[in-house]
Amino acid sequence: MSADATIYIVDDDIAMRDSLALLLGLKGFRTQIFASAENLLAAYSPNWFGCMLVDLRMLGMDGLQLQAELCRRECRVPVVIMTAYGDVATARAALKAGAEDFLEKPFDDSVLIDVLQSALGAQAPLRQSAPRAKEVPQLTTREQQVADMARAGLQVKQIAAKLNISPRTVEVYKSRMSQKLRGLEDDPASSSDA
């Protein structure tokens, strides 16, 4: 974890905001909390570094609308969407729009920490000033877990039970992995005639 990374928590539920800030603070993360998407946008700076942990359902602008606005502003801070009301279509929309991950509430502390560390790792190369060649897409920690279990022959329901997530979330991870790998196959720069 980079010392200058901040986790920007956006949730209109004060109890959730405070508990996340406390938990992450105890785990060594620096946090900044916002009661709404609008508050975050008012404070947003293009030189932010870290990860945004954004609730899906909020009064006013929701998490997907915030994510879309951040994309319009060419924000490079990874966004992790969290919700207690997840469904496959919403998770797919968030991931397709560029969310780093999608967490269903309630989530295990260890899962949250893994997701945030993965998101911070994904942003680290963007801080380097030299332009980089297109890299092979990296799987998040959770995507790698799903891939390993699927490779071992486990079915969606078995994977969901082992990871303490819903089967629909497993399907979303599998779909996202497929999109990443398909993008690699479609990229002519990724193939070599050597």
The Cα–Cα gap between 15 and 11 comes to 9
Tens digit of pLDDT per residue, the chain (194 long)?
555 789 999 999 999 999 999 999 999 999 999 999 999 999 999 889 999 999 999 999 999 999 999 999 999 899 999 988 877 888 888 888 888 999 988 888 999 999 999 888 876 665 554 344 444 566 777 888 888 888 888 888 998 898 888 888 888 888 777 777 666 555 544 444 43
Domains and CATH numbers, the chain: 1-130 (3.40.50.2300), 133-187 (1.10.10.10)
Could you tell me if 69 and 61 are in contact, meaning their C-beta atoms sit under 8 angstroms apart? Answer: yes
- What pTM, to 2 d.p., does this model score? 0.66
Q: DSSP code of 187?
A: -
Going along the chain, which residue ranges are E strands? 6-10, 30-34, 50-55, 79-83, 101-104
